[in-house]
Amino acid sequence: MATVSLATVSRRFAAGSAAVDAVDLDVRHGEFLAVLGPSGSGKTTLLRLVAGFERPDAGRITIGDRIVADGPLFVPPEARRIGMVFQSYALWPHMDVRRNVGYPLAVQGITGAAYADRVAKALNAVGLTGYETRRPAELSGGQRQRVALARCLVMEPAVVLLDEPLANLDVHLRALLQAEFTAFHRATGATMIYVTHDQTEALGLADRVAVMDQGRIVQLASPEELYRAPLTPMVARFVGRGAVIPAIVHTVHNGRADVEVLGRRAQLRVAPDQATGAALVCLRPEDLAVGTNGPVARVARKAFQGSHVAIEARLDGAVLPMHLGPDQAAALGDTVGIDIRDGWVIPARD
Amino acid sequence: MDGGEKGVRLALVGFVSLIALVPMLRLLWEGVAPAGSPDLSIVIETWTRSATLRALRNTLVTGIGGTLLALILGTGFALLVALTDIRAKAALVFSFILPLVIAPQVTAFAWMQAFGPNSPLLGALGLAPPLGTRNPLVGPGGIILLLGLHHAPLVFLAVRAGLRLVPRDLVEAAQAAGAAPMTILRTVILPLLGPALAAGTGLSFVSAIGNFGIPALLGIPGGYTVLVTLVYQRLAGFGPRVLPEVAAIGLGLAALAIIGLAVQRWRIRRDDVRVVSLAATTPGWRLGTWRPVVEASVWVFMGLILVLPFAALIATSIVPAIGVELTWERMTFSHYAYVLWDYAAARRAFVNSFVLAGLAAAVLMMAAVPLAVLADWRRSRAIGFLAIAAEFPYALPGVVLAIAMILVLLKPLPIINLSLYNTVWIIFAAYLARFLTLAWRPVSAGLAQVDRSLEEAAQGAGASFIFRLRTVIYPLLAPAAVAGAIIVFLTAFNELTVSALLWSSGAETLGVVLFSLDQSGESTGAAAIAVLTVIATLALMGVGAALGRRLPQGVLPWRP
């Protein structure tokens, strides 16, 4: 177990702007932190900086109480004692499962009974006992990722880094392995940093989520807070697919604001120091309901989702995602009245 | 970067600089400042001499003539195989490529046996030229013919690679527009092949002007000298004291090769017809009623260039003596016994060639893997620069490298005070320099197919660079490295150009012994050696083919 902390860490590539731009980040002891962002946001570079595969151009990285990168000081990855799980699994095709999993032990010169014992334990933990002599090519995608996990487990790392580990798997396996990651985290107590572009993975797995955009961390918060109170329009759109709509804040009182939005007055949640005047608000499907006296919008898209019907209602260029219950009906092109029950005034602009 | 990686990098930079960069710079220095200060008088004097100019003219005549022949044969054959429905393509391609793999001096020698006055085959048919007349292949015509045949596979390989980049839909679009096959060939395919033709032509020209085996066997007897054989004759006749003069000739030859390569580069760049290829074109145009005729002519051609010379070679190796008619009763294997046991120089040459080629292949295979990793994955500037420097000893004519090696190693090495000159080790050093790029290229191609995270996973597991090399990188690249080693071994084993200038008594190679036996008229012994080298070559190609399925496409030239 260890903390991981980054202080004004930057990494620039030859052409263009910084991939990671003066990032400050403190990952707590034994925390499961997800780094969420669109492709090109710098999240993988951030992870590779912690692992030591990239060298920062500026800033300091600390793992536990040990500085691993600071100016000329640089600890190479092989000396950082980190576990890494790759999107491609990175299993060595010329070794069988046993030798793949036991590799970190072989590196340390561990042989004989201790080696066999620890490999068996790690394979047992991921449910692959009996697969010792298989080659990676003979395994399914899910099994390969479990071997990669076992290889990580066997070295009992203080920090585990996961780089989109589920991106190459189908939906069903993803759900299964997500549960295994949670169990893995609970069993080892290791600090985990999990990079993904999939918000359901990030929100479902992590203690805290860091949202990255253009090389910077735009918000670091618990999944609940991230969803309910996004700091910027980018986070509001990217997490939970909220509608971001211009509005005017009239008064702020006791965590509530009197806001003029879509031509109506509504009471929305707000940060205590929110100024009055023009602002953007985030409206999610559960904030909206079909009503009788609200603004009138037109149903532009409709998709049956089982428990509900998701529709997109359009009004003055705004696109509002809404859910209709089983007893409500609306056809494409119909007009519906919209009742704004709740919402969030976004504190910052992009 | 850990200490081990730093050490490996430093060692490799030192190794490649010493074997590839230093000799070439030393040669350049000898040309522009032979006595230590800038002085071009020797270069000017050498290049105004009539013997040099005559050799230059002969080099250009045979080089350009041979290249044109190679261009016609190689392109025609590539189009025939890639575009038509001719049968037995794999066998045809193998037969066509074979001359490239067989040493030029062996080919030249075999052809001389087939068409000379002593030809056992033509003799049996009563077609041989009258005894005492000169071999009809001696002279520029024969040299051009054999250079053309030897280098046609180079053009073929380049054109075939080019054809693989011609997308099917471009050809089909022309067909849909109503164009007949010959029109499509003229208006679509050949224009797209421009860069490939330039690549093949440039390669073939540079190889032709640097070739030693063919002009040595077919030129020297008739007094027809090219630059390469001129260097050989001067050095063999007068020893190291003519070094400044041959260095000047060598630099001129290098300049000629560099001009050839520069023109090739310019031509490739000029029309960048890069196309995004989804599926290569394989139109399978029907030869129709012509097919049997075309196939028969192609196979007769193969028989003429392969079966006839090598049958003559075998015949010469089993007749009791030159000029004796070959019959079943007179057949003898005594010449094989002679070269394998009785003739000391030949026996030594077998050992030398095997050991030199084997050691060079092993050392270069070991070096190529970390070199490729540092150049391609770590983007090391120094190693990337050395990758370009390492191309020169191979791309430039072998005599140029040989002269450079003599210049560097003539005096005893500093510190250890040991002279490599007149030992087998000067040949070894030259082989390392010349063939490094042959070992490096396939490994680089193999590395491009390896996921980098395989190394990073090992790094994350705590493995040092040396440990990763041993447990992950070498095993993953083993097939490509072995393919490189086989190519190095084959090339070094059949090599003559470099060792002809560097050999000494006790340090002969097979090429040298074949050449000197031929020069002293002992054709039967030479034929036995030639047959044995061809057998060894074919056996190694077999090993390569067995390995072939695990290799990136195009690493072994003789695989389709």
* Integer angstrom CA distances of residue B315 from B304, B305, B323: 16, 16, 11
Mean pLDDT, residues B511-524: 89
Which of the residues B377, B451, B452, B459 would you substitute to probe the A interface, choosing the one with the greatest number of A C-beta atoms within 10 Å? B459
Q: What are phi and psi of A237, to 5 degrees?
A: -75, -40
Q: Rounded to an integer, what distance in angstroms lies between the CA atom of residue A77 and that of residue B461?
A: 8
Share of residues in chain A with pLDDT > 70 (%): 99
Spell out which residues of chain B touch residue A86, defining contact as CB-CB under 8 Å. 453, 456-457
How many beta carbons lie within 10 A of that of residue A207, not counting itself? Answer: 15
3-state secondary structure of B230: helix
Identity of the residue in B1, B2, B457 whose CB atom sits nearest the CB atom of A84:
B457
Q: Provide the shortest C-alpha distance from residue B479 to chain A (in Å).
A: 12
Closest A-chain CA to B451? A90
Q: Which position has the token pair 């060298």?
A: A55
Task: Examine the pLDDT at B287 and tell me if it is beyond 90.
Answer: no
Q: Please say whether the beta carbons of B408 and B26 come within 8 A.
A: yes
**Maximum CA pair distance of chain A?**
77
Task: Examine the pLDDT at A196 and tell me if it is beyond 90.
Answer: yes
- In this predicted structure, what is the pLDDT of residue B190? 87
Identity of the residue in A53, A79, A151 whose CB atom sits nearest the CB atom of B456:
A53
Spell out which residues of chain B touch residue A190, defining contact as CB-CB under 8 Å. none
Q: In this predicted structure, which of B7-16, B29-38, B294-303 has the lowest mean pLDDT?
A: B29-38
Q: Provide the shortest C-alpha distance from residue B467 to chain A (in Å).
A: 8
Any chain B CB within 8 A of the CB of A53? yes
Q: Please say whether the beta carbons of A161 and A190 come within 8 A.
A: no
Of B297, B295, B280, whose CA–CA distance to B85 is shortest? B295
CATH code for the domain in which residue A58 is found: 3.40.50.300
Q: What is the pLDDT of residues B486-508, one digit of tens each?
A: 889 989 998 999 999 998 888 89
- In this predicted structure, what is the pLDDT of residue B388? 87
Is A92 within 8 Å of B476 when comparing Cβ atoms?
yes
More confident position, B357 or A88 = B357
Task: Examine the pLDDT at B278 and tell me if it is beyond 60.
Answer: no
Q: What are phi and psi of B283, to 5 degrees?
A: -65, -25
Same domain, A189 and A241: no
The burial class, CB within 10 Å (0-12 / 13-18 / 19+), for A318 is middle
Q: Rounded to an integer, what distance in angstroms lies between the CA atom of residue B349 and that of residue A175?
A: 68
Same domain, A27 and A12: yes
Spell out which residues of chain B touch residue A90, defining contact as CB-CB under 8 Å. 451, 453-454, 456-457
Q: Rounded to an integer, what distance in angstroms lies between the CA atom of residue A10 and that of residue B543?
A: 51
Both tokens of A341, joined, read 């029950």
Q: Rounded to an integer, what distance in angstroms lies between the CA atom of residue B508 and that of residue B515?
A: 11
Q: What are phi and psi of B45, to 5 degrees?
A: -60, -45
**H or E element that contains A70:** strand A66-70
Both tokens of B527, joined, read 């034929």
Task: Examine the pLDDT at B276 and tell me if it is beyond 60.
Answer: no
Both tokens of B205, joined, read 């020209």
**H or E element that contains A130:** none
Whole-number average pLDDT of chain B: 87
Q: How many CA atoms lie within 13 A of A187 on its CB side?
A: 15
Q: Please say whether the beta carbons of B69 and B270 come within 8 A.
A: no
CATH code for the domain in which residue A244 is found: 2.40.50.140
Spell out which residues of chain A touch residue B451, defining contact as CB-CB under 8 Å. 88, 90
Is A92 within 8 Å of B475 when comparing Cβ atoms?
yes
User: How far separated are the first and last CA of chain B, in Å rounded?
Assistant: 41
3-state secondary structure of A296: strand
Q: Rounded to an integer, what distance in angstroms lies between the CA atom of residue B181 and that of residue B174?
A: 9
Q: What is the pLDDT of residues B58-100, one digit of tens each?
A: 999 999 999 999 999 999 999 999 888 888 888 899 899 888 8
- Given pLDDT bands bounded at 50, 70 and 90, which one contains residue A142? confident
Spell out which residues of chain B touch residue A193, defining contact as CB-CB under 8 Å. none
Is B462 within 8 Å of A76 when comparing Cβ atoms?
no
Q: What is the pLDDT of residues B329-388, one digit of tens each?
A: 888 888 898 888 888 888 999 999 999 999 999 999 999 999 999 998 988 888 888 888
Strands (E), A262-287: 264-269, 277-283
Closest A-chain CA to B475? A94
Q: What are phi and psi of A34, to 5 degrees?
A: -100, 140
Q: Rounded to an integer, what distance in angstroms lies between the CA atom of residue B115 and that of residue A167?
A: 68
- In this predicted structure, what is the pLDDT of residue B251? 92
Is A81 within 8 Å of B462 when comparing Cβ atoms?
yes
Number of domains in chain A: 2
- In this predicted structure, what is the pLDDT of residue B555? 60
**H or E element that contains A234:** helix A233-238
Amino acid at A266: A
- In this predicted structure, what is the pLDDT of residue B550? 64
Same domain, A142 and A200: yes
Both tokens of B75, joined, read 């392109």
Domain boundary (A228, A248, A265) is at A228
Cβ neighbours of residue B435 under 8 Å, at least 6 residues apart?
B360, B364, B394, B488, B491, B492
Task: Examine the pLDDT at B546 and tell me if it is beyond 60.
Answer: yes
Q: Rounded to an integer, what distance in angstroms lies between the CA atom of residue B170 and that of residue B258?
A: 35
Is A103 within 8 Å of B458 when comparing Cβ atoms?
yes
Strands (E), chain A: 4-12, 18-27, 32-36, 58-63, 66-70, 73-74, 82-85, 159-163, 191-196, 208-213, 216-221, 243-253, 256-261, 264-269, 277-283, 288-304, 309-315, 318-324, 335-340, 344-346
Q: How many helices (H) and strands (E) does chain B have?
A: 29, 0
Q: Please say whether the beta carbons of B159 and B78 come within 8 A.
A: yes
Task: Examine the pLDDT at B277 and tell me if it is beyond 60.
Answer: no
Task: Examine the pLDDT at B143 and tell me if it is beyond 70.
Answer: yes
Q: Please say whether the beta carbons of B351 and B427 come within 8 A.
A: no
Identity of the residue in A76, A91, A94 whose CB atom sits nearest the CB atom of B1:
A76
What is the helix, strand, coil percentage profile of chain B, to 5? Answer: 75, 0, 25
- In this predicted structure, what is the pLDDT of residue B298? 92
Mean pLDDT, residues B438-446: 89
Domain B42-276+288-324: CATH superfamily is MetI-like (1.10.3720.10)
Q: Rounded to an integer, what distance in angstroms lies between the CA atom of residue A337 and that of residue A292?
A: 5
Domain boundary (A182, A208, A228) is at A228
Is B460 within 8 Å of A88 when comparing Cβ atoms?
no
Same domain, A50 and A199: yes
Pairing mode of beta strands A243-253, A256-261:
antiparallel
Q: Please say whether the beta carbons of A174 and A140 come within 8 A.
A: no
Is B456 within 8 Å of A77 when comparing Cβ atoms?
yes
Any chain B CB within 8 A of the CB of A115? no
Same domain, A109 and A184: yes
CB burial of A236-270 (b: ≥16 within 10 Å; e: otherwise) equals bebbbebbbbebebeebeeeebbbebbeeebebbb
Both tokens of A306, joined, read 């089982």
Q: What are phi and psi of A251, to 5 degrees?
A: -135, 150
Share of residues in chain B with pLDDT > 90 (%): 42
Same domain, A146 and A251: no
Domain boundary (A196, A228, A260) is at A228
Q: Rounded to an integer, what distance in angstroms lies between the CA atom of residue B139 and that of residue B296?
A: 31
Q: How many CA atoms lie within 13 A of A283 on its CB side?
A: 27
DSSP-derived secondary structure letter, A64: T
Of B510, B471, B516, whose CA–CA distance to B493 is shortest? B510
The burial class, CB within 10 Å (0-12 / 13-18 / 19+), for B216 is buried
Both tokens of A71, joined, read 């100016």
The burial class, CB within 10 Å (0-12 / 13-18 / 19+), for B130 is exposed
Spell out which residues of chain A touch residue B475, defining contact as CB-CB under 8 Å. 92, 94
Structural domain span for residue A205: 4-228
Closest B-chain CA to A83? B460
Q: Please say whether the beta carbons of A316 and A328 come within 8 A.
A: no
pTM over 0.90: no
- In this predicted structure, what is the pLDDT of residue B10? 93
Task: Examine the pLDDT at B536 and tell me if it is beyond 80.
Answer: yes
Query: Per-residue DSSP letters for A174-223?
Result: HHHHHHHHHHHHHHH--EEEEEES-HHHHHHH-SEEEEEETTEEEEEE-H
How many beta carbons lie within 10 A of that of residue B262, not counting itself? Answer: 11
Q: Please say whether the beta carbons of B547 and B483 come within 8 A.
A: yes
- In this predicted structure, what is the pLDDT of residue B1? 63
Spell out which residues of chain B touch residue A88, defining contact as CB-CB under 8 Å. 451, 453
Same domain, A205 and A290: no
Write out the residue limits of the CATH 1.10.3720.10 domain(s) in chain B: 1-34+333-555, 42-276+288-324
Identity of the residue in A52, A86, A106 whose CB atom sits nearest the CB atom of B457:
A86
Q: Rounded to an integer, what distance in angstroms lies between the CA atom of residue B379 and that of residue B376?
A: 5
Q: Rounded to an integer, what distance in angstroms lies between the CA atom of residue A101 and that of residue A176?
A: 21
Same domain, A250 and A223: no
Whole-number average pLDDT of chain A: 89
Beta bridge partners of A194: A34, A162
More confident position, B267 or B201 = B201
Amino acid at A193: I
- In this predicted structure, what is the pLDDT of residue B56? 95
Both tokens of A23, joined, read 């990032």
Is A77 within 8 Å of B451 when comparing Cβ atoms?
no
Task: Examine the pLDDT at A1 and tell me if it is beyond 70.
Answer: no
Q: Which CATH number fits domain B1-34+333-555: 1.10.10.60, 3.30.70.870, 3.10.20.30, 1.10.3720.10?
A: 1.10.3720.10
Spell out which residues of chain B touch residue A47, defining contact as CB-CB under 8 Å. none
